[in-house]
Copies of this chain bind each other. A is one copy, B any other.
Amino acid sequence: MSEADLKEELPGAADDTAPEGMPESETLDEDNRLKPEFVRNVKEALDDEDSDRVYDLVEPLHPADIADLFELVDERERLTLARSIRDLMGVEVIAEMNDWVREALMEALPADVVAEIAGGLDTDDAVAMLEDLDEADQQAVLAEMEPEDRAAIESALSYPEESAGRMMSRDHVAVPETMTVGDLIDYLREHRELPTEFWEVFCVDPMHRPVGTCSLSWILRCPRNIPLYDVMARDQTLIPADMDQEEVALRFQKYALISAAVVDTSGRLIGQITVDDIVHIISEEAGEDALLLSGAGDGDINEPILLTVRARLTWLVVNLATAMLASSVVGLFQGAITRFALLAVLMPIVSGMGGNAGTQTLAVVVRAIATNQLTDSNTARMIWREFRIALTNGLALGVLIGTGTALVFGNPLLGAVIASAMLINNLVAGLAGILVPVTLDRFNVDPAVSSAVFVTTATDTMGFFTFLGLAVLTGLA
């Protein structure tokens, strides 16, 4: 390999732009987002169909910012933008682009152009790009690709969605453990087809099963004559290809991994996952719970609006049913309400506060389950913990609202009734907030998706029932 070749291949060589992270950028604001003025300039140039001006504006941007730019311009401007900056649309731009934006763009482009782009990507990025296309478009693109790339992508697509097999990169460095450090360095220098960026070298046995991992920093610090089996860490985290990406993300976090070997069912090394692919997943999975709990579905602001409406409306209709159930509880007490309308004025306070307390517990418990902090070993202790919290909060809120009600309306019995109902509903909220998600989890139902409906139903119906029921029982109305 000549030096000239190598210089061309290495990322550093061609790249002479100014360092990022500097405060005085013309395009980025202090939060490292593209400035509105800049985006406006690009949009004006797009409206004027002035491709050269668009190109000049976009050219100095980092690929990740170009990817962001696609999100920030209007949908109808995106294809024009892509056409104007055709030769800037490199691997990194495509890989960093929002899934929905990329999908729409890919559907608008002819199959051979998409195939050309996919051919230039790593397998994992190409799979991410193609997996959301519909079957016919996918086949059309695959038909245009080189047989080798095509085989790699088809093999990745054979693994379940969101599994390690889909997200792994086939490119990795695997060598026999009997190699010495010096031989490994020579091998790396001589083989151009190896990936340009990797962080660990995997040692394999003759069956290509991983037996150890060598961090590059150890290799660099060892004398050339040391064999790898003396350098490698044998204590590896192996990722089965069918493992769910959420599980993969948890392993990377737990064991602070930089990269990990992916193995097939017979234990052979078939690829690697690196931490830079994982950070997106960690962020997605951790942020997802807030969206799921609220019934906002995917929650991506670039999602096509009809899909968003369908996801949110489904959830709202389910909640409408539970709201009607709670309302029918109120219906049982119409007579009491006619006699004493103040009950109708105060009842939303009891149900609403129960809902708030339930949501708090739920958010905490769902997060603890997702991060493997809440397991069978400490569930009983945590139920007891939530009970004590609910009891304390219920007593405090009960005294507060009870005293206030008694004083404002000059009716101590009404105060006592609302105070008791508040306490009881807080206990209902706290217990439902932990028991519902824990039970769903035990039945392998994602607690983030379905817990909220049950908890809200419990706090609404019990809120109305205890308050109105106690009012009738005590002869208030």
A13-B230, A255-B64, A290-B290 are known contacts. Are A401 and B320 too (CB-CB below 8 A)? yes
Determine if A316 and B357 form an interchain contact, defined as CB atoms under 8 angstroms apart. yes
Distance to closest chain B CB from A361 (angstroms): 8
- The interface bits of chain A over 152-194 (1 if a CB of B lies within 8 angstroms of the residue's CB, else 0) are 0000000000000000000000000000000001001100001
List of B residues within 8 angstroms of A12 by Cβ: 212-214, 218, 230-235
- Is A437 part of the contact surface with B, judged by Cβ < 8 Å? no
- The interface bits of chain A over 291-303 (1 if a CB of B lies within 8 angstroms of the residue's CB, else 0) are 1011110010110
- Is A124 part of the contact surface with B, judged by Cβ < 8 Å? no
Query: Which of B254, B342, B382 makes the CB contact (< 8 A) with A64?
Result: B254
- Is A308 part of the contact surface with B, judged by Cβ < 8 Å? yes
Question: In the assembly, what is the distance between CA of A17 and CA of B234, in Å?
Answer: 7
A330-B344, A334-B342, A348-B351 are known contacts. Are A7 and B385 too (CB-CB below 8 A)? no
- Is A366 part of the contact surface with B, judged by Cβ < 8 Å? yes
Distance to closest chain B CB from A70 (angstroms): 11
Determine if B188 and A290 form an interchain contact, defined as CB atoms under 8 angstroms apart. no
Determine if A279 and B305 form an interchain contact, defined as CB atoms under 8 angstroms apart. no
**Chain B, Cβ-Cβ closest to A294:** B363
Query: Which of B72, B232, B275, B296 makes the CB contact (< 8 A) with A279?
Result: B275
- The interface bits of chain A over 362-405 (1 if a CB of B lies within 8 angstroms of the residue's CB, else 0) are 11111110111111111001100100110011001100110000
Query: Which of B287, B296, B348 makes the CB contact (< 8 A) with A287?
Result: B287
- Is A140 part of the contact surface with B, judged by Cβ < 8 Å? no
- Is A216 part of the contact surface with B, judged by Cβ < 8 Å? yes
Determine if A290 and B367 form an interchain contact, defined as CB atoms under 8 angstroms apart. yes
| Copies of this chain, count | 2
- Is A440 part of the contact surface with B, judged by Cβ < 8 Å? no
Question: In the assembly, what is the distance between CA of A284 and CA of B286, in Å?
Answer: 8
List of B residues within 8 angstroms of A334 by Cβ: 341-342, 344-345
Determine if A352 and B223 form an interchain contact, defined as CB atoms under 8 angstroms apart. no
Question: In the assembly, what is the distance between CA of A411 and CA of B400, in Å?
Answer: 40
Question: In the assembly, what is the distance between CA of A311 and CA of B236, in Å?
Answer: 41
Determine if B316 and A345 form an interchain contact, defined as CB atoms under 8 angstroms apart. no
**Chain B, Cβ-Cβ closest to A194:** B221
Determine if A32 and B250 form an interchain contact, defined as CB atoms under 8 angstroms apart. yes
- Is A105 part of the contact surface with B, judged by Cβ < 8 Å? no
Q: Which of A19, A72, A388 has the most CB of B within 10 A?
A: A19
